Structure 1
Amino acid sequence: MGTTDTARTTRRNAEAEAGGFADLVSSPFRIDRDRIAASPYFARLSGVTQVVSTGGSGLLHNRLTHSLKVAQVARAIAERLGADGEASAVVGKLGGCDPDVAEAAALGHDLGHPPFGHLGEQVLDRIARRRYGLSDGFEGNAQTFRIVTTTEVGGPTPEGLNLTTATRAALLKYPWLRLHRPEPHPATMDEPPRGAAEGEEAGTGSAKFSAYVTELDDVHQARAPFSDLVEPWQQTVEASVMDLADDIAYAIHDLQDFHRIGVLQHASVATELGRWLAEPGAFAALSDETLREVHGRPGRSLESLRRRLHAKDAWIADDAVFAGAVARVQHQLVDGLLASPFDGSVEAEQAMATFSAGWTARLADGVIITPSPTTRSGHVTLRQPQWHEVQVLKFVHRQFVLQRPDFALHQRGQAALLTSLVDALDSWLGDRDEADRLPRKLHDLVALASNEYGRLVRESPELLVGATGERIEGADAVRGLARGRAVVDFVASLTDAQAATMLEAITGRGGQPWSDSFVL
């Protein structure tokens, strides 16, 4: 094993290997993959929403089935890059791309997703910042990194999974903290990397990030072997492969889900795409103000997408290529898959499989390696046609599924559930008479967070700032941060059903004195 390979496997050591974990293979990267797959955090993803709760029907993707498909695509991309001599040479100069690392990162990339998916992520972030004063709030990618380095105890060491440096770096999809690191922060760049710009709420830092202040040392260790190979704000090649594979899987499989249950309707999608294709010049001539005023009319939303792509991704956006992407999606999705309602027949299932296989192959064939990418892209990206096609496919999902009023109603109920659960757990934590009867897992998370924030007070007090930027001082304030992080960690570790069942039990609405859906 060469010097670079040794650096990429750092964190695996003799003491850790003697810890009793029954690893079945000798490759350190395969061991990473197996440890993630054996984690209870991975198993719980079968009960975590991808877009809407599955309700046990088995008809919709959950976070587990999504992660498995992302891993499939990621490994295929990594193997293609390795088989291409020219691409392999470029990859080698950037730190390498091992298929096992790419697959492990893809399997683990959603470990931090809380109950109810992205909706749960938004709710817990607001609670973490506004209620508990945690300046780095909550973010699914950062929670994933916290799990594999800190809160998971299934590895051979007391904290984390003891993954190799390469795999931990590959999980850093957005390799910066919300506010503090690296310096200068990517958000200050003239053209910030994707996700680094400020979120919807002013003063809250980057919209996306992959670690909290409590895991800063782990970020430094994971990124150290790549410090002379990629920029501080750039993904490693393996992280870029995982990110792209996630995009590809998301663009295809969520559309299948909602066609399967009859939510994605042929007429509305056909009208939107067909109207824009009939007269793209007329839509382009509309002023931004007029476009906003008549946004609900067919074709207008697609025109808004075209303009957003030019505004955010001028490095690749092209009108002719965009039109070609719309035409391809219309032909294969609208005139193909959506032309016949899904009825569960063999013919319908075959059409679904053909659609999935065709698009996966089409997008995977468009993967390229770029030695010096724009700040808006990783080193592994798509050719121009496929890049535009992914944007159009994701647009269809966003416009005709996520924007539905009935979906919004469903999510408002989930948001209320999570907020009430946090309130109830926080109240329990504050009840001294009940301190000895706290869920053991919550008790352990409070102890862990208290140690972490105590260490920050001693070693890096400059990182302890509140949600509005004020310095956090005083034992009570620091205990408040630890308590907040522990409650958020606990709630984020539940499945959809566990969160609902626990709220029923803790508020007295449950009919049983205990439940087998979680371990107290």
Structure 2
Amino acid sequence: MHDPRTRRRDEQAEAASWPDLADNPFRADRDRIVVSPFFARLGGVTQVVSAAGSGLLHNRLTHSLKVAQVARAISDRLLAAPDGAELIGKLGGLEPDVAEAAALAHDLGHPPFGHLGEQVLDRIARHRFGLADGFEGNAQTFRILTTTDVRGPSAVGLDLTAAVRAAVLKYPWARLHRPDPHPATMPNPPRGAAEPPGAPGTGSAKFSAYSTELDDVVQAREPYAGVIEPWQQTVEASVMDTADDIAYAIHDIQDFHRIGVLQHAPVATELGQWLANALELAGLDDATLAAQTRRPGRSLELLRRRMHVRDAWVVDDDAFADAVSRVRTELVDGLLARGFDGSIEAEQAIAAFSARWTSRLVGGVVVLESPTTRSGHVTLRTAQWHEVQVLKFVHRTFVLLRPELALHQRGQASLVTTLVDALDAWLGDRDEESRLPRRLHDLVELAHAEFTDLAANAPELLVGATGEQVTGADAIRSLARGRAVIDFVSSLTDRQAVSLLDALSGRSSQPWSDSFVL
């Protein structure tokens, strides 16, 4: 009762009577997240490519479930380690239920079509609607949990405990304003805190809260004041972040092996050529290497050099070579060499690969009392850290950079842009205002109240995308309208986005309805 980590935002509403199935407040938070419609919709949201009902590819829901599984395993392992609980206690504590709840919630803010949709909505939010915060999936997650979901007792967010809200803050800062000084100004900024290359003045590339939710950030982080740095993840957030990396590194590779996209020959050639010619490749100057990126081994050498620039605190050339060798043995000579034909043997090979790697990576997790700014308190040992980087390299190089995927994603980007245009036009049609989807209407009112409150109480936070101060009722209404459209579109599944645009474009012959949206 007196633990500040259990504090909820709306204690009066909570005290009135809100029936949770669990007495443990952290377990109750986990339950509130699982029954949220925002969690259910993740089954229809792209992980890498749209699953379209296929059982062969992960979606955001199955990904979140695996991250939660790994987060709980990491928590149990760390707490069972000699002296682990004592060190963790000094850093603010670790409850497995909190880490699991944060893992289940971490992708709630992902829009239709995954990271592609995130990039498109951010560009539209900033350039069209003048929203300085733009759009960011992690910040949208925090907004859902604290503001736009209505399953909590006060109908504003889920009213989660401070510990769970803090654990969701993977990047515990705003894009531009908080904390002060902002971590982007640090000599070696935390991951995500620096501005995107080629976009000066736009703020951090990654962040976990919009200006409208900063009061919730402050309250959630109060129990950790003086315990961890303002820009540092809590231990439970760091567990969630590490679990996300582990799950992502493994299951996306097995997905694309299963559907025949990840082929043995190109992966074997890239890794094999780097291992055979590592010294020669290391001697090439940067310009020559960049000009030869299509030749085998060169892309992997570029990765090694980027790691030296970004993560000098952990990078080690011997560990990198060992990681490449292990991935070649386990992935190339093992899993990919067999191919996938849908047989029991092929499925067993995938299951064994996943189990071995998950166990190895979870076994490499450690707690650091004084980590570098580029790491959380929970991280991987040097060997496993390099292995994750190599696995993610294989996924990026041989899946994400394929021209076929780019073609598919350009169409999705066009769809999201057109959908935003159509909804914005509907909002501007006074003759049709009374027939707006109720949820969109409510989101406009919510955003208007939030921006009006900022104008009255924290006007320094109410700035446009170019940094100018926003004043006046019309400007506030414009920002509110933009945020509402972004909130609405980002809450759709892939299929809902397609169907809604078909209806708005006159391509659907049937009245389109979906109770969650309309």
Given that residues 500 and 512 in structure 2 are in contact (C-alpha distance below 8 angstroms), is that contact kept between their aligned partners in structure 1? no
Question: Residue 506 of structure 1 is aligned with which of 499, 504, 507?
Answer: 504
Q: Which residue pairs with 2:469 in the alignment?
A: 471
Q: Which residue of 2 aligns with 1:121?
A: 118
CA separation of 1:208 and 1:519: change in aligned 2, threshold 3 A: closer
SS in 2 for 1:360: helix
C-alpha separation in 1, matches of 2:18 and 2:51: 33
Question: In the alignment, which of 89, 93, 112 is matched to residue 90 of structure 2?
Answer: 93
Residue pair 1:19, 1:157 contacting (<8 A) in 2 also: no
* Higher mean displacement: 450-459 or 151-160: 151-160
1:228 maps to a residue whose letter is G
User: 1:87 Cα shift?
Assistant: 1.5
Three-state SS of the structure 2 residue aligned to 1:309 is helix
**Aligned mate of 1:217, from 191, 215, 218:** 215
> Which moved further from structure 2: 303-312 or 193-202?
193-202
Once residues 18 and 171 of structure 2 are traced to their aligned partners in structure 1, the CA distance between those partners, rounded to angstroms, is 30
- Partner residue in 2 for 1:107: 104
Question: C-alpha separation between the residues in 2 aligned to 1:178 and 1:264?
Answer: 36
The answer to whether the 8 Å contact 2:499/2:512 transfers is: no
Q: 1:206 to 1:358 in 2, by over 3 A?
A: same
- 1:197 is aligned to 194
Shift of 1:18: 5.3
CA–CA distance in 1 between the matches of 2:383 and 2:422?
50
Q: Is the 8 A contact 2:249 2:388 kept in 1?
A: yes
Residues 203-352 of structure 1: pairs in structure 2 closer than 5 A:
203-352=201-350
Cα displacement (A) at 1:21: 4.4
Amino acid at match of 1:179: L
Q: Distance in 1 between matches of 2:179 and 2:233?
A: 13
Give the unaligned 5+ runs of structure 2. none
Query: Residue 181 of structure 1: SS of its match in structure 2?
Result: coil
Letter in 2 for 1:207: A
Residue 381 of structure 1 aligns to a residue whose secondary structure is: strand
Say yes or no: does 1:139 pair with 2:136: yes
Q: C-alpha displacement at 1:515, in angstroms?
A: 3.2
Give the CA deviation at 1:519. Answer: 4.0
**Alignment identity in percent?**
72
Amino acid in structure 1 at the alignment position of 2:393: F
Contact 2:153 2:159 in 1 (8 A): yes
Q: Distance in 2 between matches of 1:94 and 1:517?
A: 44
Displacement after TM superposition at 1:86 (Å): 1.2
Tell me which residue corresponds to 1:27. Answer: 24
**Match in the other structure for 1:66:** 63
Q: Deviations over 1:236-255 (max 9, x none)?
A: 00000000000000000000
CA contact (8 A) 1:18 1:156 kept: no
Residue number in structure 1 paired with 2:181: 184
Q: TM-score, normalised by structure 2?
A: 0.98
Q: CA RMSD in A?
A: 1.1
Q: Supply the AA of the counterpart residue of 2:265.
A: A
Residue type at the aligned position of 1:489 = D
Distance 1:23 1:517 in 2: 25
Give 1:11 deviation, angstroms: 1.0
Alignment deviations for residues 309-341 of structure 1 (CA, whole Å, 9 cap, x no partner):
000000110101100000000000000110011
Secondary structure (helix, strand or coil) at the match of 2:313 reads coil
Structure 2 distance, partners of 1:148, 1:16, is 16
Q: How far off its partner does 1:514 sit? A: 2.4
Instruction: Give CA deviations for 1:150-185 in whole Å, capped at 9, x if unaligned.
Output: 000012222000100000000000000000000000
Structure 1: runs of 5 or more not aligned: none
Deviation at 1:22, TM superposition (A): 3.8
Q: Contact 2:371/2:377 (CA < 8 Å) preserved in 1?
A: yes
Q: Hey, what does 1:81 align to over in structure 2?
A: 78
Instruction: Tell me the residue number matched to 1:47.
Output: 44
CA–CA distance in structure 2, aligned partners of residues 488 and 514 of structure 1: 20
How far residue 14 of structure 1 moved from its aligned partner, in angstroms, is 5.8
- Residues of 2 paired with 1:230 and 1:80: CA distance? 22
CA contact (8 A) 1:498 1:517 kept: no
CA distance in 1, matches of 2:334, 2:183: 42
Pairs aligned (count): 517
Q: Tell me, what secondary structure is at the counterpart of 1:315?
A: coil
Amino acid corresponding to residue 322 of structure 1 in structure 2 = F
Query: 1:253-300 deviations in whole A, cap 9, x for unaligned?
Result: 000000000000000000000000001000100100001111110000
Q: 1:316 to 1:124 in 2, by over 3 A?
A: same
Partner of 1:491: 489
1:368/1:381 contact within 8 Å kept: yes
Q: State the 4+ residue runs in structure 1 displaced beyond 6 angstroms.
A: none
2:374 equivalent to 1:376? yes
Query: How far off is 1:198 after superposition?
Result: 0.3
Letter in 1 for 2:501: L
* Matching residue of 2:151: 154
Between 1:477-486 and 1:103-112, the stretch displaced more is 477-486
Post-superposition shift, 1:362? Answer: 0.2
